[in-house]
Amino acid sequence: MSGMRGGGRGGRISGGDVEAQRAANATAPKIPDLLKRISQLFAPHRAAITVTIILVLISAAISVFPPLLTKQAFDVGLFPPSGTPNIPVLVELVLLMVALWISSAALGVWQTYLTATVGNKVMGALRIRLFGHLQAMELAFFTRTKTGVIQSRLQNDVGGVAGVLSNTISSVIGNTVTVIAAFVSMLVLSWQLTVVAVILLPLLVIAQRKVGQVRARIATKTQESLSEMTAITQEALSVSGILLAKSFNQQQAEVGRYTRENENQIRLQVSQQMSGQWFFAMVNIFLSIIPAVIYLVAAWLINGGTDVTAGTIVAFTTVQARLMFPLLGLLRVALDLQTSSALFARIFEYLDLVPAIVDRPDARPVRPKKLGQVQFDDVVFRYPDAPADSPATLKGVSFTIEPGQFAAFVGPSGAGKTTVSYLIPRLHDVTSGRVLFAGDDVRALEQDSLVRNIGIVSQETYLFHATIAENLRYAKPGATDEELTAAARAANIHDTIASFPDGYDTVVGERGYRLSGGEKQRIAIARVLLKDPAVLILDEATSALDSLSERVVQTALDAASRGRTTIAVAHRLSTIVAADVIFVVVAGRVVERGTHPELLAAGGMYASLYEQQVQGA
Ligand code: ADP
């Protein structure tokens, strides 16, 4: 299983580092700050929001009238002082009410359309921002954070907020309308009864805040557990994960791991749904007993000589009942918002991560004149998340590779050879010293320009689940079919591809698993040839292959390295005997350098390594 190298190495490091980072960021987001940031997201949609608010006000104005018309229907139409119902007036009132309700409903649909559009656009923009931001993060971020945890932020958190937001805006707006309208009609009908109806509302608001805080806490835990589940799924159900589990008979253990997190998730979901149930029950009881209380108070008012008609009481209790659902809806939304503020906080937390490796403001493109020259000047490097007291991975490495040279790095595993190759395209930045590309410190160069000039073929080839042609064009989007075949020929893979029924349109399986290691590797070489970089880095490109495939791939690599600077991290010394210069790396230092004959003659580390391998062969 070769998935443990480079990026993969961090794959199983726990998400605890992110938690640690979160603790370090420890400025727990305050709700007002959050609201400010959330409202900034809506800034581009001011026009649509203004229209929505106008629509809301119109709807509000419209829906004040029907209850007042109800009162008229009773007091003037049905039970006029004359004693007989006044049909013409009644018909007029009913028609008017119908017209008002129809226009209010139509406005409601329009509002929903606007709010749904705005809500989804805002979320879409947020998702893209987050994805783009993550693309800019340095490699080290991905080696220390579980892939599933990152995916979960993008999918579960943004997705969770998206649902809430588009529901929320329309619900807030729609319900606010009804509540305001109902409240105004109630006031017009009878201020005394209104006081009775709303006297306990402040209590509800206080209770709602408490419940909201509890829910937000549970929501954070739920999202953490969800991201852990995504991480487990992502690890266990990937091709490498399944291979690993099957080959070590660990399927049951994986199921167990998933089960534990799943149980945690169930518990959290239940407590999230249950928190606030007592609150809502209380609200329900409260709202249902109000009409009864109103009859009593009305009787008391009438006895006291206040003018309260039957129409007033019917209209009032109708409106009051209509107040109930929107009010519940608003309380629910306030809760949802508090809950989703936890999700927003998680999203903003990622957006606030500062990429460690970015272009300087004065960054310039690579100088073409010395293209291909690579120098290390007393480079010390320590992995960003390595323990502070551990020795540095590179302890003062210096060398110069001239344009067009073939340089090889050899030495025991873990010596730091791959690390050397990572510092050239700035996958990491040096701790001290300088890495120079074409004579310039790589930190002073535009990353685009630098990376365009460097090609990497590593031990673990990554191919997308797409056709071979699409995988090749990743290196050069506009490449013609002729260019593809030329590169494939040079990489010794054209005949193989041509022999597939679908040729270049053959879809390679998840991570290219339907191809043999050697075939994948040669496709990767063809891909790098299309890029045509000035510097080619070969990181143990053949060491995962059997000797037959190795020979075929080696021929392809020899062709690929012609005419450009090549830096080969080599395990099998037989592949680098012809190198212009060989560096022997031991424990983060270059301990020997020279050509193969020179190093053999010197009789040092290289000579004994070579001796061992020749004997082993
Ligand atoms: P080589 O290529 O010579 O086998 P590497 O350059 O891959 O060696 O690794 C050198 C050292 O750096 C090893 O001790 C390895 O464990 C450590 N290392 C590699 N990657 C990381 C990482 N992402 N974080 C911390 N340490 C790392």
Tell me which residue has its CA closest to atom 14 in ligand 1.
414
- The atom number, within ligand 1, closest to the CA of 411 reads 3
User: What is the Å distance from ligand 1's center to 597 Cα?
Assistant: 29
State which of 351, 366, 396 marks the end of a domain.
351
- Looking at the fold, whether 140 and 246 belong to one and the same domain comes out as yes
Q: Which domain holds residue 308?
A: 9-351
User: What is the Å distance from ligand 1's center to 409 Cα?
Assistant: 15
Q: Give the CATH number, domain containing residue 120.
A: 1.20.1560.10
**If you ran DSSP here, which 8-state letter would residue 510 be given?**
G
Give per-residue pLDDT as tens, 416-434.
999 999 999 999 999 999 9
Q: What is the pLDDT of residue 20?
A: 41
Q: In sequence order, which residues have a C-beta less than 8 Å from that of residue 423 and are 6 or more positions away?
A: 376, 379, 381, 394, 429, 430, 435, 442
Give per-residue pLDDT as tens, 100-142.
889 988 988 888 888 888 888 888 898 999 999 999 999 889 8
- Looking at the fold, whether 492 and 430 belong to one and the same domain comes out as no
- Looking at the fold, whether 313 and 226 belong to one and the same domain comes out as yes
Q: Sign of torsion, CA 164 170 175 176?
A: positive
Residue with tokens 């698993």: 513
Question: 235 near 148, Cβ under 8 Å?
Answer: yes
Tokens of 18: 């992110």
User: What is the Å distance from ligand 1's center to 436 Cα?
Assistant: 21
Query: How far apart are alpha carbons 592 and 578 in whole angstroms?
Result: 16
Residue 367 lies in a domain: no
Q: Which amino acid is at 256?
A: G
Q: How far apart are the first and last CA of the chain?
A: 23
- Looking at the fold, whether 550 and 508 belong to one and the same domain comes out as no
Residue 458 lies in a domain: no
Q: What are phi and psi of 411, to 5 degrees?
A: 145, 175
State which of 495, 520, 545 marks the end of a domain.
520
User: What is the Å distance from ligand 1's center to 442 Cα?
Assistant: 21
Longest dimension (CA), the chain: 126
- Looking at the fold, whether 444 and 323 belong to one and the same domain comes out as no
Bridge partners of residue 394, in order along the sequence: 381
- Looking at the fold, whether 159 and 293 belong to one and the same domain comes out as yes
**Residues of the chain where predicted confidence (pLDDT) is lower than 70:** 1-31, 163, 166-167, 169-170, 510-513, 544, 617
- Looking at the fold, whether 313 and 335 belong to one and the same domain comes out as yes
Mutate to test the pocket of ligand 1, among 4, 5, 9, 379 (most ligand atoms within 8 A of CB): 9
- The atom number, within ligand 1, closest to the CA of 10 reads 23
Query: How far apart are alpha carbons 84 and 286 in whole angstroms?
Result: 38
Residue 81 lies in a domain: yes
User: What is the Å distance from ligand 1's center to 580 Cα?
Assistant: 26
Q: In sequence order, which residues have a C-beta less than 8 Å from that of residue 212 and are 6 or more positions away?
A: 334, 335, 337, 338, 339
Grouping H, G, I as helix, E, B as strand and the rest as coil, residue 453 is coil
Bridge partners of residue 456, in order along the sequence: 537
Residue 2 lies in a domain: no
Q: Which amino acid is at 118?
A: V
Residue 440 lies in a domain: yes
Residue with tokens 């199921």: 255
Tokens of 513: 């698993």
Q: What is the pLDDT of residue 511?
A: 53
Bridge partners of residue 324, in order along the sequence: none
Residue 327 lies in a domain: yes
Tell me which residue has its CA closest to atom 24 in ligand 1.
383
The three state secondary structure string of 311-363 is HHHHHHHHHHHHHHHHHHHHHHHHHHHHHHHHHHHHHHHHHCCCCCCCCCCCC
Quick one: 110 exposed, middle or buried, by C-beta within 10 A (0-12, 13-18, 19+)? middle
Query: How far apart are alpha carbons 589 and 395 in whole angstroms?
Result: 6
CB-defined site of ligand 1, < 6 Å: 9-10, 143, 383, 385-386, 393, 413-419, 569
Q: Give the CATH number, domain containing residue 574.
A: 3.40.50.300
In the sheet that holds 406-410, the strands lie side by side as 454-458, 535-539, 565-569, 406-410, 581-586, 589-594
- Looking at the fold, whether 474 and 436 belong to one and the same domain comes out as no
The string of DSSP codes covering 269-289 is: HHHHHHTTHHHHHHHHHHHHH
Mutate to test the pocket of ligand 1, among 4, 379, 393 (most ligand atoms within 8 A of CB): 393
In the sheet that holds 374-381, the strands lie side by side as 394-401, 374-381, 432-437, 440-441
Query: How far apart are alpha carbons 110 and 454 in whole angstroms?
Result: 54
How many structural domains does the chain have?
A: 3
- Looking at the fold, whether 301 and 345 belong to one and the same domain comes out as yes
State which of 351, 385, 414 marks the end of a domain.
351
Query: How far apart are alpha carbons 39 and 29 in whole angstroms?
Result: 15
Bridge partners of residue 445, in order along the sequence: 364
Tokens of 244: 């690993």
* CB environment 492-524: b (16+ within 10 A), e (fewer): bbbebbeeeeeebeeebeebbeebebbbbbbbb
- Looking at the fold, whether 316 and 445 belong to one and the same domain comes out as no
Q: What are phi and psi of 419, to 5 degrees?
A: -60, -40
Q: What is the pLDDT of residue 407?
A: 95
Grouping H, G, I as helix, E, B as strand and the rest as coil, residue 581 is strand
Q: Which amino acid is at 45?
A: H
Q: Which amino acid is at 186?
A: M
Q: What is the pLDDT of residue 166?
A: 66
Query: How far apart are alpha carbons 542 and 557 in whole angstroms?
Result: 9
> Cα 351 from chain centroid?
10
Query: How far apart are alpha carbons 308 and 317 in whole angstroms?
Result: 13
Question: 218 near 268, Cβ under 8 Å?
Answer: yes
Taking alpha carbons only, the member of 143, 148, 161 closest to residue 356 is: 143
Taking alpha carbons only, the member of 265, 588, 258, 536 closest to residue 419 is: 588
- The atom number, within ligand 1, closest to the CA of 139 reads 23
**If you ran DSSP here, which 8-state letter would residue 561 be given?**
H
- Looking at the fold, whether 287 and 417 belong to one and the same domain comes out as no
Other beta carbons within 10 angstroms of residue 43's beta carbon come to 9
Q: Residue 404: left (phi > 0), alpha (psi -120 to 50), or beta? A: left
Question: 389 near 21, Cβ under 8 Å?
Answer: no
Query: How far apart are alpha carbons 549 and 529 in whole angstroms?
Result: 19
Residue 608 lies in a domain: yes
- The atom number, within ligand 1, closest to the CA of 409 reads 3
- Looking at the fold, whether 301 and 246 belong to one and the same domain comes out as yes
Residue 364 lies in a domain: no
Bridge partners of residue 400, in order along the sequence: 375
